[in-house]
Amino acid sequence: MALDPTLGIPVVYIVDDEDVVRDSFAWLLRSRRLLSEGFTSAESFEAHLDTMRLPWPTAPVCLLLDVRMPGMSGLVLFERLAERGLLAALPVIFLTGHGDVPTAVAAVKGGAFDFVEKPFSNNALVDRIVLALEASGTELQRRRAQQTAGRTLAALTEREREVMRLVIDGRPNKLIADVLGISVRTVEVHRARVFEKMNVRSAVELANLLRDPGS
């Protein structure tokens, strides 16, 4: 259990229409020292989501989602979260009764973190939840690094940015010099400056940093 405390206090959202299930599970999570928040329906959770300030989440989160509920079903809510691009930061674990297994499997293929069949083995589920929270935390960290990279990118000169683009494309220095019409030596200087400013040691690291978020 290696949750980075710098990322904030993790929260587990439970969306289930059964009070008993919500209550008992919240209590179980509390016994594992995990914070949880219960919602009686998909609609109420979505409403809560809308009140959040973006970009959200600011701490590792995960969602326990019952498939079958009165009103909006868990699957519909899941689809909406996917549309918002929240699935990476908000991993979804489906709770299914018997008979819903095929739909749950389909949901996992569509990007859900996992599913558990009711009645579930309690601590095993909590272990899955912790994994989901870690995944959420990793995503959060990646986003923060990206933000930092964006800021340093602004500090680069025009020439340095040109050199960096070609470096990320994997061109050797000699070629870069030919393309930009400058000497190889100058390219090497620029390259070193870029690495220094971006706080990376290699071209691969640079590329990773500048990868499109979410991909």
Partner 1 sequence: MPPNAPNPPTQPPRRRMRRALLWGMLIGLLLVAQSLLVWLTVSYESARAQEEADGVAAEAAVEIRRDLLRHMQALQALMWREPMPSDWRDHANELMRSQRELLHVERRDADLRVTGSLSTPYGQRLFSQMSRDDLDIDTELACLTARRAARPSFSRTYFVPLPGGQGAEVLDLCVPLQQDGRDAGFLVGTFALAQLLDGVQTPRLARQYELSFVESDGTRLARAGMSRGTGVYVAERLVDLPGVLLQLRADAASGRPSLIPNLATALVLGLSLALFTVVLLLVRDVRRRAAAEHALAESLAFRQAMEDSLVTGLRARDLTGAITYVNPAFCAMVGASAVELMAGRVTQIHSQHRPPYWPPEFADAYQHRQHTLLAGGGRPGGPLEAREGFETVFMRKNGERFPVMIYEAPLVDGQGRHTGWMSAVLDISAQRRMEELSRQQQDRLQATARLATVGEMASLLSHELNQPLAAISSYTAGSLNLIDEPQGTAADTLPMLRQALERVAEQAERAGRIIKSVHDFVRRREQQRETLGVDLLIEAVMPLVRLQARKSGTRIELDMGDKPPRVVCDRTMLEQVLLNLTRNGIQAMETGMPLAARVLTLRVRQTHPRWVSFSVIDAGPGIAASVALRLFTPFFTTRSEGMGLGLSLCRTVVEQHGGALDFGPGPDGRGTEFRFTLPAPRATSPHAAPSLPARAGTSAGTSAGSSEEPSAEPSVESGDTAGTTPV
Residues forming the site for partner 1 (CB under 8 A): 18, 20-21, 23-25, 27-28, 30-32, 97, 118-120, 122-123
Which residues fall within 8 angstroms of residue 201, CB to CB, at 6 or more apart?
195
Least Å distance, CB 80 to partner 1, is 27
DSSP structure string for 71-134: SS-HHHHHHHHHHTT-TTTS-EEEEE-TT-HHHHHHHHHTT--EEEESSPPHHHHHHHHHHHHH
Smaller CB distance to partner 1: residue 5 or 119?
119
> Which is it for the CA torsion 149, 151, 153, 155, positive or negative?
negative
Smaller CB distance to partner 1: residue 28 or 72?
28
Smaller CB distance to partner 1: residue 34 or 206?
34
Helix (H), strand (E) at residue 12: strand 11-15
CB 16 within 8 A of CB 42: no
Least Å distance, CB 13 to partner 1, is 17
- Both structure tokens of 8: 């904030």
Smaller CB distance to partner 1: residue 115 or 206?
115
Least Å distance, CB 122 to partner 1, is 4
Least Å distance, CB 35 to partner 1, is 14
Q: Quick one: which of 130, 114, 136 has its CA closest to 28?
A: 130
Smaller CB distance to partner 1: residue 117 or 162?
117
What's the rounded Cα separation, in Å, for the pair 101 and 96?
Answer: 7
Least Å distance, CB 96 to partner 1, is 12
